[in-house]
Amino acid sequence: MGTRMHGGLIAALVAVVVVGFTLSTRATANAHGPTPAIRHLFIIMMENRRTDQIIGNTTDAPYINQLAARYNLATNYYGVTHPSLPNYLALLSGDTQGIFDDCKPGAAVTCPPAEFIPGKEYPGLLLTDAQVAYEQGQPHLFAGQNLVDQLEAHGMSWRAYMESLPATGYTGEYFGHRLYAAKHNPFVYFSDITTNPTRMARIAPFTLPGFAHDLTGAMPNLVWISPSQCNDMHDLSTENATAEHLAACAKSDGGADHSVIQLGDHYLSQVVPMIMRSRAWGEGAAIAVVWDENDYSGWTGCCHSPVGVQGTTLGGGNAPAIFITSRGGARVSDATAYNHYSLLATIERLWGLGCLANACGFRDNELLLHYLL
């Protein structure tokens, strides 16, 4: 698992998120709980789109473009790598866990790497022999520390919402006609979560009425939302989309996927305003809407992404990222390079949680100190 240092990026990402959050110099991270300014952070993880497929596409994504025009937009945000699963693991644990696949969770599950370049299977091309060998021997139930451990150690709360999850405690790979996919639920890939019934109970099925009801009460500090494979802009096979009576979710042969992007835009137009009208929003909150990676349209990246043969950065390509805050402040459009490690490092820094793996090593500078001290 190669990594590449990218000094100062945590400072820069804090500038993007924290400028939007307008943290005062008094809002210092508290080792025993969240800062007064940001008590709740909602992460909505979308899927498989390049920035230029979404930003500027007012026909398919009018609501998202309204958000991007009004709130904070990171124009140079990247997936950590390809395909989806390692990006989810990266944001939750600071590490891709050395995998390049979307395989199901399990202590006895091992997989070869997925393709990194469309139409060209591993091994070869971009991954080193050592990366391929590690991947093929790595069980898909990981023992490492994760953000859940950090939050609970600091007396902070969390909940994960998974749309189309059939029930709490479910650890299967898919449900229904693949509307729910474990590869978009990184929590079930960590043994200290799956073996803990209390933690598993915090991974809840998402429905709009159920979420609306929860928002009327006390919400956790961290709320993770993974929409279904239709509402997150992924897609389904034509067969599965037909079985779900969701023709708009069928994968487009032409690759434009206009109707799938429209589904995701409509979903966000329902969920984001619900959060912004909630009790949690009035207590001080923020929403991060990010896309996992750009689905093999390139392997550009930054910020500790894996490094393959001849030093090639095995990034996940440019993907959209929008940050919304209840604290107001001037809109920021920032072109600094960020990825999911940068976002995790920012969360950790804001709440004084320490750092995990590749979320460590981001250097402080005057900009970071200005906003956090």
What average pLDDT does range 299-321 have in this prediction? 94
* Spatial separation of the C-alpha atoms in residues 332 and 302, rounded to whole Å: 21
pLDDT for 43 equals 97
- Indicate the DSSP class of residue 9: H
Whether domain 9-372 has CATH 2.40.50.180 = no
Angle between helices 340-351 and 84-93 (to 10 degrees): 20
Return the percentage of the chain with pLDDT > 90, whole number: 71
pLDDT above 80 for 365: no
Distances (CA, A) of 180 to 10, 16, 103, 188, 256: 32, 32, 14, 13, 23
Q: What is the pTM of this model?
A: 0.90
pLDDT higher than 70, residue 13: no
Per-residue confidence at 241, pLDDT binned at 50, 70, 90?
Answer: very high
Query: Quick one: which H or E segment has residue 312?
Result: none
pLDDT for 308 equals: 93
So what's the pLDDT on residue 96?
Answer: 98
The one-letter amino acid at 294: N
**Does residue 369 contact residue 314 with C-beta atoms inside 8 Å?**
no
- Whose CA is closest to 11, among 369, 323, 319, 310? 369
Q: Collapsing DSSP states into helix, strand and coil, what is residue 279? A: helix
Q: How confident is the model at residue 332 (pLDDT cuts 50, 70, 90)?
A: confident
What is the pLDDT averaged over residues 315-339? 86
